[in-house]
Amino acid sequence: MKIIETAQITETVREMVIEAACDLEPDILEGLVQARDRETSPLARDLLDLLLVNADIASREQMPVCQDTGVSVAFVSIGRELIFDGDPEAAVQEGVRQGYEEGYLRKSVCDPLTRKNTGTNTPAVVHLESHSGDDLRILYLPKGCGSENMSRLRMLPPSAGIEGVVDFICETVFAAGPNPCPPLVVGVGIGGTFEKAALLAKRSLFRPLGEHHQRRDVGELESDILTRLNREGQGVEGMGGINTALAVNIEVFPSHIASLPVAVNIQCHAHRHKERTLTGREWPGQSDS
Amino acid sequence: MSFLKVMPAALENLREITIPFAEGVIETLSAGDMVGLTGSLYTGRDQTHRRLCALLDEGRELPVDLAGQLLYYVGPTPARPGQVIGSAGPTTSYRMDPYTPQLLELGLKATLGKGKRSRTVRDAMLKHGAIYLASIAGAGALLSKSITRAEVVAFEDAGPEALFRFEVERFPAVVINDLAGRDFYEICAAGR
């Protein structure tokens, strides 16, 4: 057994929260530069340039890239050989609370019915998982809701086939138009059940930009959909050009013979995501080492 | 930074417009015009709209006079010590659609956000001689540089959803819906 102190989890999450808000990851910056370089519309090129200027200012001044610093989403996978000196999920929530306060981030979480702000940006949406090992893996994504609101899930009949899946994904992006801040990263979950498809879609957003699914047919589907979105879509900020999306990331999972769930989780160009792994240290109380 | 070659021309060639608008200026603005807004505006998003319209429904006076004004849909991040404001880009406008016609009736002349407006709002804008503009979505750090003063005017308890008064200088925006009924997003989509 190995131990991770919950104080270390809190400190790590606090850092991730602040860095995610202010520093776009290299893969997203590179994606925006490539989009700018291939863009054919002068206005869309200017807009992409402005997004890069914005990222530069945000990073230099440690000011959030976007004022919507999001609802916090974390996938936390706990190595099954780990022990803790407290509650690891509570430690994540505390890290989020500290990060939003100390990083001057906007607290955007409220009661869904009364709309009263919780004042701390907590609770974060935390998905706890486990794996074989003695490390703790944290995936963190502050999710802006201009894009989250444009996301959709549909339980398609199997007869809809791949064509029906592609049409649903494209229709979702086209219907959203300028609202979710294109160029987008389009996260897609195909298969599983109602909730599994949605989780796959969210999870797919953590894939580094430019990487395709390892399954060849899925990877090709991603490329085909991306091509169609950029050919028929409304372009940068809905104002034209050939960059409606930077990537389409698909995850798949077997489904019921009667079912073809498809979830489309839309992410904006300010695609903030962070990944950190904490390794446990030897636990002194261990008897068999 | 290495990826930044030159300052985008887009910010150098803005048509400068003073807000609140002088008589006859709105009439000269067309869908697709890039403008730099200088002057003062009010801000509001979901809760501000809900509260303003609740006050109107109760027949009570609003904390600000919106006649002739521009209303910017934004919920900024908190200012660090020494800053005027934090990140302050536009939020998605359709969420304000259910409230907008009521505010246009008070003489509100322009709204500023991002994304499409409903047919009802577009019709109400034409009826009341108002326009809609979009700023650069997801560029809140850059846009904060065009805000020279920010003060909370009402609904302070709503935190980021409070009603602010901003003073702005060359705040970049694109005219989306003009007085001729044109929609720049539709024009862009048709051009494909």
Q: Assign residue B118 the CATH number of its domain.
A: 3.20.130.10
3-state secondary structure chain B: CCCCCCCCHHHCCCEEEEECCCCCCHHHCCCCCEEEEEEEEEECCHHHHHHHHHHHHCCCCCCCCCCCCEEECCCCCCCCCCCCCCCCCCCEHHHHCCCHHHHHCCCCCEEEEECCCCHHHHHHHHHHCCEEEECCCCCHHHHHCCEEEEEEEECHHHHHHCEEEEEEEEEEEEEEECCCCCEHHHHHHHCC
Examine the domain organization and report whether A134 and A81 are in the same domain: yes
* Per-residue confidence band for A139, with pLDDT thresholds at 50, 70 and 90: very high
Please determine, for residue A153, whether its predicted confidence score (pLDDT) is greater than 80: yes
Over residues A30-68, the pLDDT tens digits come to 999 999 999 999 999 999 999 999 999 999 999 999 999
Band the pLDDT of B4: cuts 50, 70, 90: very low
By residue count, chain B amounts to 192
Residue A157 shares a structural domain with residue A256: yes
When pLDDT is averaged across residues A190-201 and rounded to a whole number, the result is 98
Residue B33 touches partner A, C-beta closer than 8 Å: no
Residues A129 and A74 in one domain: yes
* B3 within some domain: no
CB contact B26 to A (< 8 Å): no
Q: How many CA atoms lie within 13 A of B140 on its CB side?
A: 33
Whether residues A234 and B189 touch (CB distance < 8 A) is answered with yes
State residue A284's pLDDT score.
Answer: 78
Residue A29 lies in a domain: no
- So what's the pLDDT on residue A283? 83
B11 domain-assigned: no
- Domain range for A262: 146-267
Average pLDDT over chain B, rounded to an integer: 94
Residue B1 lies inside a defined structural domain of this protein:
no
Does residue A180 lie within any of the structural domains? yes
At B129, is the pLDDT very low, low, confident or very high (cuts 50, 70, 90)? very high
- The per-residue pLDDT for A117 is 94
Does A150 lie in the same domain as A234? yes
**In this structure, are A139 and A165 located in the same domain?**
no
- The residues with which B71 forms a beta bridge, in sequence order, are B42, B111
Instruction: Read off the pLDDT band of B6 (50, 70, 90).
Output: very low
Look at residue B13 in the predicted model and tell me its pLDDT: 81
Q: A192 and A159: one domain?
A: yes
Q: B89 to chain A: nearest residue by CA?
A: A67
Q: Does A108 touch chain B (CB under 8 A)?
A: yes
How many domains does chain A divide into?
A: 2
A50/B9 Cβ within 8 A: no
Q: Is residue A36 part of a domain?
A: no
Number of domains in chain B: 1
The chain A residue lying nearest B173, using CA atoms, is A47
Nearest chain A residue (CA) to B74: A67
Q: What angle do CA B3, A177, A169 make, to 5 degrees?
A: 95
Give the per-residue pLDDT at B9. 66
- Each residue's pLDDT tens digit, A166-185: 999 999 999 999 999 999 99
The helix or strand, by DSSP H or E, that contains position A279, with its residue range, turns out to be: strand A274-279
> Is A237 in contact with B134 (Cβ distance < 8 A)?
yes
Residue B25 at interface with chain A, using a CB cutoff of 8 Å: no
Give yes or no: residues A137 and A278 share one domain: yes
To which residue do tokens 């024009």 refer? B187
- The predicted model gives A83-97 an average pLDDT of 98
With respect to residue A42, please indicate whether it lies within any of the assigned structural domains.
no
State whether residue B158 sits within 8 Å of chain A by CB: yes
In-domain check, residue A52: no
Residue A189: which residues within 8 A CB-CB, separation 6 or more? Answer: A196, A197, A198, A199, A200, A201, A202, A203, A204, A250, A251, A252, A253, A261, A262, A263, A265
In a domain, B4, yes or no: no
Per-residue tokens: A254: 């077997």
Nearest CB to B78; choose among A104, A237, A268 = A104
Measured CA to CA, the distance from residue A278 to residue B103 in angstroms comes to 52
Residue B5 has a pLDDT of 43
Share of chain A above pLDDT 70, in %: 98
- Quick one: pLDDT at residue B133? 98
CA A125/CA A146 separation, integer angstroms: 17
Over residues A242-268, mean pLDDT: 98
Give me the residues of A, 173-212, that contact B with CB < 8 A: 177-181
In a domain, B54, yes or no: yes
- Residues A182, A124 share a domain: no
Distance from CA of A158 to the nearest CA of B (A): 32
Q: Is the pLDDT confidence value at A287 over 80?
A: no
Q: What is the mean pLDDT of chain A?
A: 96
Query: Would the CB atoms of B185 and A178 count as touching at under 8 Å?
Result: yes
| Digit-coded pLDDT (tens) for B9-21 | 667 789 999 999 9
Contacts of B138 in chain A (CB under 8 A): 51, 54, 65-66, 181, 268-270
Tell me how far apart the alpha carbons of residues B55 and B2 are, in angstroms, rounded to a whole number.
Answer: 51
Could you tell me which chain A residue has the CA closest to the CA of B31?
A239
Residue A288: band (very low, low, confident or very high) from pLDDT cuts 50, 70, 90: low
Min Cα distance B14 → chain A (Å) is 12
Burial of B67 (0-12, 13-18, 19+ CB in 10 A): exposed
Strands B70-72 and A245-253 turn out to be unpaired
C-beta of residue B144 within 8 angstroms of C-beta of residue B84: yes
Confidence of residue B183 (pLDDT cuts 50, 70, 90): very high
My answer on whether A70 and A153 are in the same domain is no
**Domain assignment of residue B10, yes or no:** no
Does the distance separating the beta carbons of A61 and B94 come in below 8 Å?
no
d(CA B90, CA B44): 10
Provide, rounded to the nearest whole percent, the portion of chain B with pLDDT above 90.
Answer: 90
Name the residue facing A268 among B10, B78, B138 (closest C-beta). Answer: B138
Would A252 be classed as within a structural domain?
yes
**A92-109, pLDDT tens digit by residue?**
999 999 999 999 999 999
Q: Which of residues 242-281 of A touch B (CB under 8 A)?
A: 268-270
Nearest CB partner across the interface for B141, out of A57, A234, A239: A57
Do A262 and A157 lie in a common domain?
yes
Give the structural domain span for B84. 16-190
Query: CA A199: distance to chain centroid?
Result: 11
User: A261 preceded by cis ω (within 30°)?
Assistant: no
Please indicate, yes or no, whether residues A11 and A138 belong to a single structural domain of this protein.
Answer: yes
Beta-carbon contacts of residue A166 (< 8 Å; ≥ 6 apart): A221, A224, A225, A228
Same structural domain for residues A178 and A211? yes
Question: Which residues, including other chains, have CB under 8 Å from residue A223's CB and lie 6 or more apart?
Answer: A212, A248
Among chain A residues, the shortest Cα distance to B117 is held by: A179
- B144-171 mean pLDDT: 96
Residue B107, in any domain of the structure: yes
Identity of the residue in B9, B114, B141 whose CB atom sits nearest the CB atom of A54: B141
